Every structure is written in C-alpha cells, then in structure tokens.
Amino acid sequence: MAKLPQPPDAPGLTWRPPTINDISLLADHTLRIHEVERLDFLASAEFFEWLLAQPGIDSAEDMLVGLIDDKIVADAGTWLHSGDAGARCIVWGEASPGHTNLAGFLLEWAKARAMQRLAAVPEQLPKVIRTSVEEHRSAQRTAIEAAGFEEPRGFVTMARRLSELPAAPNVPSGIQVVTWSDDLEEAVRVASNTSFADHWGSLPMDAAEFGGFYRDSPTFRPDLSFLAIANGSVVSFSLCGVDDEDNENRDTNDVFIERVGTVRSHRGQGLASLLILRSMQAAVSAGGLDRAALDVDERSHTDATLVYERLGFETLSRALSYTITI
C-alpha cells in the first residue's frame, strides 16, 4: 500500500485535516489563488460545506491543509467514486500565492492517498486517479506532470448571454417537457447514468451520490432544470445551478448548466437543445442572471460543442484532465 509522504517543515507551518469550522478559511485560500491564477471555478464556503458532507470523502483521512498564522495556505484531497463499473479518485493539491513550492508535495500526498483508497477496490475493476487544471496555469500543470499524471483530454467552458435567445423548437411528438420534481429524481438518475455510459471517464452514480450533486446541492436550481419524458421515462435532461457566492466574484451572474444529456434511443431529435433553451428562458424569467455557461469534453463523440455553438455558446477557456491509470 502506498505510504503518505511526510509534510515539509517550515517556520510557522502546521498540517492537519480540515474540519467544518475551516470552510471560510478554505474559501479565502481559494480566493487568493483565484486573484492570481484566474480560476474557472471559484469554490465558496458554501461549496466546501457541501464537499465535506459528500459520500466518498472522509475529511479526517482524505484531506489535508497547511496553515500559517491561522490562515490556510495549502490544501490537498481525494474523493473516491466507485461502483460495479470501476473506481475513480478525483484529487487536488493547491497552494496559495507565495507558497507554490508546496504544490509538488500536495499532489504527491493526494496521489498516495488515492492509491490507498483504490487498493480496496476489487482488482479486476478499472481504476484511475484524475485531476484537472486550467490550461493557462503553467506552473500547476508542471507540478501535475511531475507527479506522474498524463494529459489525455481537454474540456472547454462555453458561455452565451441570455439576451436575444433563439426561439425554442417545437416539442417532438410523444415527448412531454416538465421542470424538475423530486419524485422524478430516480428516473433522472437512471437517464443520466444511461446517457453518460458511453462518455469518456464517466461512472454511474448511485442514489446517494446523485442526490448529493443535485437535490442536496446548495446551488441546484430545480426551477431552471428541465426534463423530457417519453412513455413514462426521462429521456433527456438539463440540470442547472446558480452559485451566488461565485457570481459575486465574477463580472457576470451565471446560470451553470451542470449536466445535460439524452439517452441513446432519443438522440438526434434536438431534445438537449430544446431543454437548454428552456433552462435559459427560465433563467431570464427568474431575473438577476445574464449569462449561461457549461463545461464540455471537446472530443465528445456526440459533437456536443457543435450543438452548443449552434445555440450561440462560445468557448471561454480550456481545462486539461490528467489521469493515472492503476
């Protein structure tokens, strides 16, 4: 089993796992990085509170922070997603400006902890460690590559203004479009797992994990999330969120289209485009929002980037997903 590396010593620097009492310190640490590095996603205190409550993370074992003068200057973590189809550990290691010499240790610690967690996964299942970074962050990319990660995939963030939206197409025959409701959550989860089964790096989510990402997420907006139903089954979905704390640090107030997909049997009917437009129209009606954004695999076999471009989305930035296959 992989052994965790010992944290480096430095004057005034202490190491420990984070607790729920540290969420504002973690948010401040992330903001300091953002002010220099311009992060695509700015994790808020609300986000960290949600993260520490997720299945697959035991903060006492799976996360580490470094502090100087009661200020977090470094954090690392690993988040296990596993099931019958395989296992994936999402890892991260970030140092505040002025402490970037710690980045290599943080990533090595997270990688070692991921190896420990994946050691408990049945040997015959595929296992991968994964981390992501914005393409422009060259120093962080260098640290990730030095830790042994390989760069297999690019993801782009796309956005469009909510003004002058195109008209929504007619709903195809046999399809009913509805807003999210909790009684349909399991049907949406099944449709999501089915839709993403043939996507790179995707693993099915169980009920607890899916509920944590959407229904129980503090940023999830059911009023902006739409579903297409055929013969009693959810066949397409557009699930949206609004992070008010993140928006406060941006030049725009965004609705983020967090997950959109269509089951294979109903692709080619324009359902995803229809639901995205419904989500954007609802965002306009809700008020206070002026842009829609989403992330997409630029090499998706469904040509998703072309779908979004036809809806008026433009690429804002690119991130790289690195992996280590076990």
The pLDDT profile of the chain, 326 residues, written as one tens digit per residue, is 679 999 999 999 999 999 999 999 999 999 999 999 999 988 999 999 999 999 889 999 999 999 999 999 999 999 999 988 899 999 999 999 999 999 999 999 999 999 999 999 999 999 999 999 999 999 999 999 999 999 879 999 999 999 999 988 899 999 999 999 999 999 999 999 999 998 888 999 999 999 999 999 999 999 999 999 999 999 999 999 999 877 777 788 999 999 999 999 999 999 999 999 999 999 999 999 999 999 999 988 778 899 999 999 999 999 999 999 99
**Cα distance between residue 44 and residue 27, in whole Å:** 5
Kindly report the number of other CB atoms within 10 A of residue 114's CB atom: 28
**Cα distance between residue 323 and residue 326, in whole Å:** 10
Tell me the sheet residues that pair with 63.
Answer: 77
Angstrom distances, CA of residue 316 to CA of 160, 250, 293: 10, 14, 9
**Cα distance between residue 15 and residue 8, in whole Å:** 9
- Digit-coded pLDDT (tens) for 293-318: 999 999 887 788 999 999 999 999 99
DSSP single-letter state for residue 220: B
Nearest in space to 114 (alpha carbons), one of 148, 138, 159: 148
- Digit-coded pLDDT (tens) for 73-113: 999 999 999 988 899 999 999 999 999 999 999 999 999 99
Q: 232 Cβ partners below 8 Å, 6+ apart? A: none
C-alpha neighbours within 13 Å on the C-beta side of residue 172:
18
Would you give the end-to-end CA distance of the chain in angstroms?
Answer: 13
Task: Yes or no: say if 256 and 243 are a contact pair by the CB < 8 Å rule.
Answer: yes
Nearest in space to 121 (alpha carbons), one of 326, 283, 313: 326
- The H-or-E segment that residue 95 falls in is strand 86-95
Chain-centroid distance of CA 322 in Å reads 14
Complete domains list, the chain, with CATH: 13-148 (3.40.630.30), 157-319 (3.40.630.30)
Task: Yes or no: say if 228 and 275 are a contact pair by the CB < 8 Å rule.
Answer: yes
